[in-house]
Homo-oligomer: A and B are copies of this chain.
Amino acid sequence: MTKLIRPSGRAADELRQISLETNVTRYAEGSCLAKFGHTHVLCTASWSDSVPGWMRGSGKGWVTGEYGMLPRATHTRGSREAARGKQSGRTQEIQRLIGRSLRSVMDLAALGENQITIDCDVLQADGGTRTAAITGGFVALALACRYLVEEGVITENPVRKQAAAISVGLFQDTPVLDLDYPEDSGGEGDMNVVKSSDGGFIEVQGTGEERPMTRAELATLLELAEKGCSELFDAQRAVLEEDD
């Protein structure tokens, strides 16, 4: 792994500069601006005391994710989804992933019949927006839950563990951690991995873009992802403790 020159000059198992800035908006119950290098995602957690219709009376709460990208978050301007009148398949796929991932670390019964919506809006994109969204979205969610306990809306904090996500992939046939855009578009394959802080895998989504991947490569990628998520869990804990 020593000879690889990543476009960014990073080592193969090196994350980009990670920054999780909290309380960045005035109104949201929780917020976090997650930066993975040049990828900047603004995550807000919004509380509502009304859950989706099919959950009413269940005594349980719900966490859902929404995702958007500002039109000029990217090299060339993309059309505005609100103007086009629909969200792309990619957007919906990512929204579903955010929601599933964050619900998996929550005790929805402890949340009571409350809903928390995590909005993840990409201000600037350089690869890995969904992983920054999940990692920052967790921080926003945790802050909102803490706030709901403080305000007496719920009595027990429903967050059971942390959730964080990172991408891994093959670039010039070498497994690398936390792909930026040049690596993402020029690599052979990639995998988005969502982990929980107790060591388990919540989601694994791998695609052989240019060629299928071998079982051995998949195993190495999972290992790399574990290292990356471990560092992200540390970063999350640092800002959550500081905020406390």
Enumerate chain A interface residues (CB-CB to B < 8 A): 25-28, 31, 38, 42, 44, 46, 48, 66, 68, 70-77, 80-93, 95-96, 100, 104, 117, 119, 121, 123-124, 126, 191, 195-196, 198-208, 211-215, 218-219, 222-223, 226
With a CB–CB cut-off of 8 A, which chain B residues contact A38?
26
Q: How far is the CA of A214 from the CA of B219 in the complex (A)?
A: 12
Q: How far is the CB of A105 from chain B (nearest CB, A)?
A: 9
Q: Is the CB of A195 within 8 A of B212?
A: yes
Known contacts A91-B82, A203-B206: A27-B75 contact under CB 8 Å: yes
Number of copies: 6
Could you say which residues of chain B place their CB within 8 Å of the CB of A214? Answer: 199-201
Q: Once the chains are docked, how many angstroms separate the CA of A96 from the CA of B44?
A: 29
* A212 x B196 contact (CB < 8 A): yes
Interface pair A89/B96, CB less than 8 Å apart: yes
Q: In the assembled complex, which residues on chain B have CB atoms less than 8 Å from the CB atom of A126? A: 26
Task: Give Cα distance in the complex from A231 to B213, angstroms.
Answer: 20
